[in-house]
Chain A
Amino acid sequence: VSIYTPDLQNILSLLFFLLPASALTTGIYMIFSTKPEMATQEIQPNETLTNLKAESDTLKTKLEDERAKLHDVELHQVAEKVDGLGQFIMKTRRTLKGHGNKVLCMDWCKDKRRIVSSSQDGKVIVWDAFTTNKEHAVTMPCTWVMACAYAPSGCAVACGGLDNKCSVYPLSLDKNENLAAKKKSVAMHTNYLSACSFTNSDMQILTSSGDGTCALWDVESGQLLQSFHGHAADVLCLDLAPSETGNTFVSGGCDKKANVWDMRSGQCIQSFETHESDINSVRYYPSGDAFASGSDDATCRLYDLRADREVAIYSKESIIFGASSVDFSLSGRLLFGGYNDYTINVWDVLKGTRVSILFGHENRVSTLRLSPDGTAFCSGSWDHTLRVRDRGVITWATFPKGPHSQGER
């Protein structure tokens, strides 16, 4: 039982203030410096800063060793026997024009035809991608709307950016209704909103911010349900694990780290730091056992969660511009990467090779997402447009089990 009760600590701290400085040692200060509210962690005598630093270094080395021990083969070696993908042509089926400035973010509605997109000019537009008609348009009070997301029900959209907030707009069937009037401010960060996503329902939103944190919010009350601290710099992206695999999500940031979080406890479960620059985009592999990342270091990488390490790098010497956005095809065999050199590179995830390079955008590709049924993907660009693409005419294709009866001629 310690005699150093909170009151006594405060009195003694005050006394130390009045004593001549030369009579004091930092050692004594450390014992008395535990403020009452920080006394939840007893500081043991042997847990000095130097000891903890040493333990931290030992643990880091141990982590590297453990990960290295299991690195018995490369993914592309395992995949050597898999058939190659053959000629790969994609066609632009729709071009959505209407934004007045750079498109920064987009998301699909679960109905597989509607798209929400947000732009530097402060506008958020809901499109019918089949007809290319604009169904709704909202003007945000800020420019650089860096994040937008469709609610699972299709009845609302969330967006935010330089206003440091994430707001939810219910979508009305009445096209003349002013959407801005029904706006609901949900998330409040202390820096820009970089990404947002609804969880399984319209009731909760996950956000990431330039303030270095992610947060989970209740939409109805605006209450903060959980916050996620661990990044050392701006968090730029996040992705929720496929619902079958449980309550986790991955985030990527300017600290070059990708962190996997437990949504309920707020704890960082796994952390990966192999990129050489900001991570702009993260996306789970469809099985939930891995995730891909795109970075300013001009590479995309695949991290396996069960092996707890990077298992593939998608890069070429000729690709020198950063990857801004990544997404997988439904089977996980293809990885689409949108880059700052205006192109989209399509990678064979297993073999690590590039299957195709897609041109068309006239400025950086900033955002890219597969449609909910996997038949197409949409890319948004600083050239103010969005493009929806799917497979062109398939002349021939190899499948692991031989030719398939289905297929466009």
Chain B
Amino acid sequence: MCDHRCFVYEIVKMSGSSNLVAMKKIVQQLRFEASINRVKVSQAAADLQQFCMQNALQDPLLTGVSSSTNPFRPQKVCSFL
């Protein structure tokens, strides 16, 4: 009978201490995340937009590329005239 109860207490003991350690890790992680510096969305959005605009002309899927430079241009059949 003591064996059974001791076993139960052993489980309580094990889960108690490991819960505590796990909880401490969670709190430490949250403390870290809460402390980071953030910028306003208006600023972040403006920067994202600026990056798009600055690189728009170098984006082949936005501008398209001429057939001669497109590596995947439709395969043309050569014929001798």
Contacts and interface: CB of A to CB of B under 8 A. Distances in A.
Interface of A: 16-18, 20-21, 24, 26, 29-30, 33-35, 38, 41, 43, 47-49, 52-53, 55-56, 59-60, 62-63, 66-67, 70-75, 78-79, 82, 85, 93-94, 112-113, 129-130, 230, 267-271, 285-287, 289-290, 304, 306-309, 311, 329-334, 349-350, 370, 373-377, 388, 390-391, 394, 397, 399-401, 404, 406-408
Given A56-B23, A71-B41, A406-B66, A34 B60 contact: no
Contacts of B46: 78
A182 B55 CA distance: 42
Interface of B: 2, 5-6, 9-10, 12-14, 16-17, 19-21, 23-24, 26-27, 29-34, 36, 38-49, 51-67, 70-74
Contacts of A269: 33, 36
A35 B26 CA distance: 20
Nearest to B53: A400
A130 B6 CA distance: 70
A333 B59 contact: yes
Contact of B48 (A267, A304, A370, A401): A304
B23 A53 contact: yes
Chain B contact residues: helix, strand, loop or mixed = helix
A75 B48 contact: yes
Given A287-B48, A331-B59, A407-B64, A63 B24 contact: no
Lowest 5 A-B CB distances belong to which pairs? A331-B59, A331-B55, A21-B5, A59-B30, A93-B72
20 contacts: A17-B10, A21-B9, A26-B16, A30-B17, A49-B19, A49-B23, A56-B26, A59-B27, A59-B31, A63-B34, A67-B38, A73-B45, A75-B48, A79-B45, A331-B59, A349-B48, A391-B65, A399-B62, A401-B57, A408-B70
Given A72-B41, A375-B72, A399-B57, A30 B63 contact: no
Contact of A130 (B17, B49, B72): B72
Given A73-B42, A390-B70, A333 B63 contact: no
Contact of A375 (B39, B42, B49, B71): B71
A391 B56 contact: no
Contacts of B31: 59
A38 B17 CA distance: 9
A55 B2 CA distance: 37
A394 B40 CA distance: 37
Nearest to A47: B24
Given A130-B72, A400-B56, A29 B13 contact: yes
B13 A33 contact: yes
Q: Which of B12, B30, B57, B60 has the most CB of A within 10 A?
A: B60
A70 B27 contact: no
Contacts of A397: 62-64
Given A33-B13, A52-B23, A290-B48, A73 B33 contact: no
B30 to A, nearest CB: 4
Contact of B12 (A29, A62, A79): A29
B44 A270 contact: no
Contact of B49 (A79, A286, A309): A79
Given A52-B27, A374-B60, A307 B33 contact: no
A35 B13 CA distance: 11
Contacts of B42: 72-73, 78
Q: Which of B13, B36, B61 has the most CB of A within 10 A?
A: B61
Contacts of A24: 9
Contact of B17 (A33, A286, A311): A33
A21 B61 contact: no
Contacts of A35: 17
